[in-house]
Structure formats: structure tokens, C-alpha cells
């Protein structure tokens, strides 16, 4: 079986060709070893970082940008983003704080990427 992928490890965006010959993978068209690793992983079990935003109350902003602490299986991204759409945070939140631990039993946490302070009341 042969598959083609665009390498997303760096901006060069090589067009990788990954071929499975009796369970042995070979990667071609890569310009470096990182592309070879990416091609093999993409063929076997593609992984991605998850980035999105989560609702937040008690602040002047309405959504908090978040990122996963590690890569997550690509085929679970939509399910996990749906899970995050149901979460509502309460300010204040510190950058680097854990928003959701072990999301979907992946062993990966969801982390706040900025500090959001509470809204200061004007009287």
C-alpha cells in the first residue's frame, strides 16, 4: 500500500510518499530525518496538537485560547473539541494552568495559553 502526505514539520512542506511492503515502511521525497519520522507516524497513527478556545465568564473576554500538553490521535480531535465546547471556565485563569486534565482519557491535559483576569467592577 502506498500513501502520500504533505510533511507539516517545517515550512518546506515536502510531498512524502510512504510505502508499506509486507509491514516494512519506506518513506521517500523527504529532505530530512524528521520528515521520515513524520511520514512513518502519519501512516501508522497520525497525531496532532489540539488548539481551540473555551468559554470563560467573569472577564472582559468571552473565550480562552487553549492547547493540549502533548499530541493527540488525529481521529479523536473532533470528539475532544466537542467536549471542550461544553466547558465554561471562570476567571481569573493563569497562563499554563490546567483547564481540563486527561481529556478523554488520552493522558493529555488541556492548558490555558494566556492569563485572563477577572473583570474589575466599576462603581
Q: Which residues bind ligand SF4 (CB under 6 A)?
A: 7, 9-10, 12-14, 30-32, 34-35, 38
Q: How far apart are CA 65 and CA 84, in angstroms?
A: 11
Q: How far apart are CA 48 and CA 65, in angstroms?
A: 17
Three-state DSSP at 12 gives coil
Cβ contacts of 22 within 8 Å, gap of 6 or more: none
Q: How far apart are CA 80 and CA 21, in angstroms?
A: 34
CB nearer ligand SF4, residue 12 or residue 98: 12
Give min distance, CB of 4 to ligand SF4, in A: 13
Give min distance, CB of 10 to ligand SF4, in A: 3
Q: Which residue is nearest to ligand SF4 (CB)?
A: 35
CB nearer ligand SF4, residue 31 or residue 88: 31
Give min distance, CB of 42 to ligand SF4, in A: 11
Amino acid at each position: 500500500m502506498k500513501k502520500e502526505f504533505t510533511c507539516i514539520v517545517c515550512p518546506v512542506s515536502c510531498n512524502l510518499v510512504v510505502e508499506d511492503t509486507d509491514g516494512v515502511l519506506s518513506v521517500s521525497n523527504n529532505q530530512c530525518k524528521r520528515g521520515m519520522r513524520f511520514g512513518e507516524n502519519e501512516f501508522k497513527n497520525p497525531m496532532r496538537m489540539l488548539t481551540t478556545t473555551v468559554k470563560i465568564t467573569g472577564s472582559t473576554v468571552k473565550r480562552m485560547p487553549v492547547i493540549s500538553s502533548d499530541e493527540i490521535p488525529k481521529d479523536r480531535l473532533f470528539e475532544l473539541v466537542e467536549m471542550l465546547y461544553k466547558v465554561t471556565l471562570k476567571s481569573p485563569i493563569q497562563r499554563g494552568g490546567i483547564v481540563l486534565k486527561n481529556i478523554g482519557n488520552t493522558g493529555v491535559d488541556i492548558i490555558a495559553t494566556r492569563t485572563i483576569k477577572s473583570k474589575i467592577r466599576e462603581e
